[in-house]
């Protein structure tokens, strides 16, 4: 029996199949992290779905406070906007894999997952000159076989401690959610794109990031990349 299939079956029998697939701390289908070092006063800011036209404004906001972050980029957006993608690593930020097309991976075959992750990993390596070590599944959805595919490309899954829900909330509400969840080693998930939409409006995210980074700086928090907090 496929190990992941057996584990998912046991989870389903125990009523935990949804947690196995989407639970932030689940290790059932693929190895991942959702929290960093609890002994360090540091927060990892992460951004999904880019690059987009809004990436430049987020980079400016981060630069104002000296914050470092991790950007999970989609291959399709990377192909559209390589210069905006390069600006991220040029500014000293970390880059991660967020699949090619931002599709949900539940019920996806290994071949589909291999294409989604592998195609993106190759382009990320070409554009940034380094192979990413982190992968974030769109919508936080993992599936049978993903662990094998991650290992093939040298990737570890990255979930989150706090989700900003910035794709639908106004800046004030985003700020409240994030600052209310900040703790040592927290991993915060925000977005510098909206899936693979060509010209997304990320204005509320940008406004929120400016406030969040200033408050965290003033309170003495380090804002670091994912690799620096785990």
Domains and CATH numbers, the chain: 3-229 (3.20.20.370)
| 23: β partners | none
Q: How far apart are CA 191 and CA 167, in angstroms?
A: 7
Contacting residues for 153 by C-beta, under 8 A, at least 6 apart: 97, 117, 118, 121, 131, 135
Nearest to 28 by CA among 18, 37, 36: 18
Q: How far apart are CA 57 and CA 122, in angstroms?
A: 27
- Per-residue pLDDT tens for 31-59? 999 999 999 999 999 999 999 999 999 99
Categorize the per-residue pLDDT at 7 as very low, low, confident or very high, splitting at 50, 70 and 90. low
Rounded to two decimals, the pTM is: 0.94
Q: How far apart are CA 174 and CA 165, in angstroms?
A: 7
Check whether 1 has a pLDDT greater than 50.
no
Do residues 124 and 131 touch, judged by C-beta distance below 8 A?
Answer: yes
């Amino acid at each position: 029996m496929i190990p992941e299939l057996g584990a998912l079956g046991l989870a389903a029998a125990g009523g935990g199949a949804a947690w196995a697939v989407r639970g932030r701390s689940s290790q059932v289908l693929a190895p991942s992290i959702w929290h960093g070092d609890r002994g360090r006063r540091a927060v990892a800011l992460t951004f999904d779905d880019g690059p987009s036209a809004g990436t430049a404004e987020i980079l400016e906001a981060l630069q104002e406070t000296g914050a470092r972050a991790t950007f999970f980029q989609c291959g399709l957006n990377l192909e559209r906007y390589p210069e905006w993608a390069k600006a991220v690593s040029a500014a000293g930020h970390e880059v991660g894999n967020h699949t090619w097309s931002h599709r949900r991976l539940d019920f996806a075959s290994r071949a589909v997952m291999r294409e989604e992750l592998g195609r993106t990993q190759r382009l990320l390596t070409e554009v940034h000159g380094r192979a990413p070590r982190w992968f974030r599944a769109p919508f936080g959805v993992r599936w049978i076989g993903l662990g094998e595919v991650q290992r093939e490309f040298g990737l570890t899954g990255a979930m989150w401690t706090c989700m900003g829900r910035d794709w639908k909330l106004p800046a004030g509400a985003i700020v409240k959610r994030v600052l209310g969840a900040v703790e040592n080693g927290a991993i915060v998930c925000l977005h510098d794109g909206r899936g693979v939409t060509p010209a997304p409006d990320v204005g509320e995210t940008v406004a929120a990031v400016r406030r969040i980074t200033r408050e965290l700086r003033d309170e003495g928090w380090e804002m670091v990349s994912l690799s620096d907090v785990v």
